[in-house]
Chains A and B, each alone.
Chain A
Amino acid sequence: MTAAEWQIAAFTVEMAVLSTALILPPGLALAWCLARFRWRGKTLVETFVAMPLVLPPVVTGLVLLKLFGRRGPLGHWLYSEFHFDVVFTWRAVTLALAVMSFPLLVWTARSAIEEVNPALERIARTLGAGEWRVFFTITLPLAKRGLLVGALLAFARALGEFGATILVAGNIPGVTTTLSTDIYQLIQLGEDSHAWTLAGISLSLAFAALWSSVWLMRRKKH
C-alpha cells in the first residue's frame, strides 16, 4: 500500500468516526423521545429521519448541497456568521456521512431503549431519581449493547457512503476523497489494480464493523 492509499483509508475512518460521534448525542435523545413518549408530529419526525434510507443518496446530497452551499440558507448563514465553508470541504464529508447514517443509529437505538422495561424506570423515580439520573443509571446501561450495535452500524454505513458525499463534498484529492469516491475515480481512469487495493481495505473495515455488531447482538440475547 502506498502512502496515498493509507492517507485515504485513514481519512475515511476518521470522517466515519467523527460523523458517528456527532450524531450520537442527538440520535440517542431522539431515540429516547421516540421510544418513551407520544407526541404530536411524532410520525412526521420518524418519516423524515428515515428518508435518507430510501431516497437515492444523490438526492440527499443534492438537498444538502442546496442547503449548505454558500448561497443556500444554512451555508450563507454559516459563512456570514463564522466565515467557514461547508460544501467541498472535509466538513461536507462529515455532514453527508452523518445524515446518511443517522436513521440506522436512531432505529437501532430506539428499539434498544424500547426493550428496557419501563417498570424499572418508574421504580427508580419512586426511589427519588430525577429524569437524568433515571436515563444514565437505568435506561442507558440496560440498553448499552443495543446502542453500541447502532453506533457500529452507523459507522459501517458511513464508511461506504458515496452518492451524497460526491455531490456535496466532491472528490478533491487530499481534501475530500474517501475510499468509495476514489475507487470510483480509479475505475473511471482504468486503474483497476489500485481500485482493488482500496476495495480490499473497504471490505476489511466493513467486515470488522459488521462482525462486531453481529457478535454484540448475539451476546445481548444470552
Chain B
Amino acid sequence: MSLLLKNISLPLAPFTLEADVEIHRRVTAIFGPSGAGKTSLLELVAGLRRAKTAFIQLDGRVLTDVAQGVFVPVRQRGIGYVPQELALFPHLSVRQNLLYGRKSGGEPNRLFTFERIVEVLEIQPLIHRSVTELSGGEKQRVALARALLASPRLLLLDEPLASLDHKLKRRIIPYLASVREEFRIPMLYVTHDRFETLALADEMVVLVSGKIEQTGSVRVVFSRPANLAVAGLLAVETIQPGRVVKVTDELVTVAVGPTVLTAVAQNLPANMGEVHVCIRAEDVILLKGEGSQSSARNHLPAVVQSVASDGPLMRVELDCGFPLIALLTKQACEELALKPGDPVVALVKAPHIHLIPREAPRH
C-alpha cells in the first residue's frame, strides 16, 4: 500500500489543515487531540470533502489533483469508511446493511467473502436483527463488516472505539486486530487513544492543530517524541526541565533540580544545554529495602507520595528530587506494600530517559 498526500491545504475554522505525507505501512494511526483535523483528513482521502489544494494518490492511482482538476467521485474510489457515528442504515436489517456495498461480479477476492467476514466479526447471530436493536459494540462490528464487504483497497476508521466504554473497547480491539491479520487490508485509523495506537498501529502520524508534528513507526514516536507537543499528547507522565551537565562518548549527564540522571547520547544536538527530560511511567521500576545491584544506570532514592488505581494498573507518585510517576501492576504494588511516606529506590535505564531540546527561558 502506498498513499501519497501532497500539498494538502484545507481551511478549517480555527486553522488550516496542511499535510505532506507518504504512508506505506499497513495500519497507520492518525493520532491527535480532538479538533486537530483528523476527521477532515480522512474525508479528503475518501473524497467526501474538497480541499483548496491537494494531490492524493493511492497505489499509483491519482484520486484528487486540484491543480489538474482531477477528482475521482466517492463511489469510484474503492475506499471504505467507518465514521465515528457509524451511520448504519436504520431502515435496513443487519443483513441488508452488510450487502449494501457488496460488489456483484468483478474478480472475487477470496478473503472478502460474506461468510468469512461474518465469521471473523461474529455477526451471524445478529444477521436478521434490525440495526436499531444492536448494542454499541455490535453496531461497531456491523459497520466494520459493511465497509469490508465492499472490498475496499483502503479502510478509513474514524475513532472506532471512542464511543465505547473501557470494557467494550477491550472486546472490540481483538476484532480489529483480526481484521488486520485476516484481510491484510491497509487501514488509516484516527484516534486520540495511545493504548489503541499501541495495540493496532504500525506507523503513526501525529496531527496537532492541522499540522503534522511527527511521522514514524509507533515504537519510535512513543520512545522519541519529536517535540514537547507530541510528548504531551502521548501523555508521557514525567516531563521535567533539565540541564545537560556533561556529555561523554555515549552517555549524557542531566541535572533535574538536585537530581542527576544518566541518559543515552543518541541524536543529541552538540550544543544542547536546556532540555526536557521525558520518562514514561511504565519504564520506572521500584525497589524497596536495601538496593541490590542492577544494570539500570539511574538509582533514584525516592519517597512515595500517593498510590492510586489507574485502570488495570496502579499509579505511584514519587518524589525523587522532582515528581516522578511510576505505573505498576496491582500485584507488584501489593507485594511491595507501598503506602505514602515509604522510602523506595526508582530504577530507570539510561535509554528510557528521552531528551527533547528546550529553548532557554527568555527574559
A residues within 8 A CB of B219?
Answer: none
Q: Is A36 part of the binding interface, using a Cβ–Cβ cutoff of 8 Å?
A: no
Tell me the nearest residue of chain B to A137, going by C-beta.
B100
Q: Is B85 part of the binding interface, using a Cβ–Cβ cutoff of 8 Å?
A: yes
Tell me the nearest residue of chain B to A129, going by C-beta.
B75
Q: Is B46 part of the binding interface, using a Cβ–Cβ cutoff of 8 Å?
A: yes
A residues within 8 A CB of B85?
Answer: 119
Q: Is A120 part of the binding interface, using a Cβ–Cβ cutoff of 8 Å?
A: yes
A residues within 8 A CB of B343?
Answer: none
Asked if B87 and A128 sit within 8 Å, CB to CB, the answer is no
Q: How many positions in chain B have a CB within 8 Å of any CB in the partner chain? A: 22
| Complex partner residue of B75 from A119, A125, A137, CB under 8 angstroms | A125
Q: Is B340 part of the binding interface, using a Cβ–Cβ cutoff of 8 Å?
A: no
Asked if A126 and B89 sit within 8 Å, CB to CB, the answer is no
Given the known inter-chain contacts A122-B48, A122-B74, please indicate yes or no for A127 contacting B146, CB distance below 8 A.
Answer: yes
**Interface set, chain A 94-134, CB cutoff 8 A to B:** 117, 119-120, 122-130
Asked if B89 and A138 sit within 8 Å, CB to CB, the answer is yes
Asked if A126 and B74 sit within 8 Å, CB to CB, the answer is yes
Q: Is A142 part of the binding interface, using a Cβ–Cβ cutoff of 8 Å?
A: yes
Assembly CA distance A6 to B176 (angstroms):
68
Asked if B46 and A129 sit within 8 Å, CB to CB, the answer is no
Could you tell me the distance in whole angstroms from the C-beta of A117 to the nearest C-beta in chain B? 7
Asked if A119 and B83 sit within 8 Å, CB to CB, the answer is yes
Q: Is B11 part of the binding interface, using a Cβ–Cβ cutoff of 8 Å?
A: no
Tell me the nearest residue of chain B to A118, going by C-beta.
B87
Asked if A126 and B48 sit within 8 Å, CB to CB, the answer is yes
Tell me the nearest residue of chain B to A126, going by C-beta.
B81
**Interface set, chain A 29-78, CB cutoff 8 A to B:** none
Tell me the nearest residue of chain B to A125, going by C-beta.
B74
Of the candidates A122, A125, A127, A137, the one having the most CB atoms from chain B within 10 angstroms of its own CB is A127
Assembly CA distance A138 to B89 (angstroms):
8
Asked if A130 and B87 sit within 8 Å, CB to CB, the answer is no
Assembly CA distance A141 to B81 (angstroms):
23
Given the known inter-chain contacts A119-B83, A119-B85, please indicate yes or no for A126 contacting B91, CB distance below 8 A.
Answer: no
- B residues near A (Cβ < 8 Å) are 46, 48, 73-77, 79-81, 83, 85, 87, 89-91, 100-101, 103, 146-147, 150
- 18 pairs, A vs B, C-beta closer than 8 Å: A119-B87, A120-B89, A122-B48, A122-B74, A122-B87, A123-B83, A123-B87, A124-B89, A124-B100, A125-B48, A126-B48, A126-B75, A126-B77, A126-B79, A127-B80, A128-B101, A129-B101, A130-B75
- A residues near B (Cβ < 8 Å) are 117, 119-120, 122-130, 137-138, 141-142
